[in-house]
Amino acid sequence: MSQPNPYSPHQVPSISPEQERTWGMIAHAGALAAMVFSAGFLGFVGSLAVYLMYKDRGPFVRAHAANSLNVQITMFIWIVVSIPLILLLGLGLLTLIAAPFVAGALHIVGAIKASNGEWWNPPLTPRFVR
């Protein structure tokens, strides 16, 4: 009889609820920090890193990392849609400026909710990643 391989890619160790809360908070805070330091272009990197590393370690961290990614994807869509609206109507400037602020506010709320151990789905955000 063979022993299970502790380093098998199919056996990912789970993490404690406290660690899940911490990494859920980092998913949001990391995205916010990356947004600020890259002028909004690399916010998805923090969310994606946490999602890829911890998605199989617990449902709470997976949900918050996915929500963080969804906020970033939604912000990207807002920005892409805003550019032609600027050229056509001039109204796109408003959504272009608002998108990073809305995403930032959602990440702050998400980080607080994750830190408190609360499940949360951000408003105005479709669920592209689950």
Instruction: Identify the pLDDT of residue 6.
Output: 54
Instruction: Identify the pLDDT of residue 1.
Output: 47
Task: Residue 27: count other Cβ atoms within 10 Å of its Cβ.
Answer: 31
Q: Looking at the whole model, is its pTM more than 0.75?
A: yes
Listed in sequence order, the residues at least 6 apart from 41 whose beta carbon sits closer than 8 Å to its beta carbon are none
pLDDT in tens, 108-123: 999 999 999 999 999 9
Token match 């709470």: residue?
A: 60
Between CA 43 and CA 110 the distance in angstroms is 14
- The identity of residue 90, as a single letter, is G
SS3 60: helix
Token pair belonging to 66: 């996915």
pLDDT in tens, 74-106: 999 998 999 898 888 777 888 889 999 999 999
pLDDT in tens, 20-32: 999 999 999 999 9
Q: Are 54 and 61 in contact (CB under 8 A)?
A: yes
Average pLDDT, rounded, for the chain: 89
Handedness of CA 111, 68, 126, 93 (dihedral sign): positive
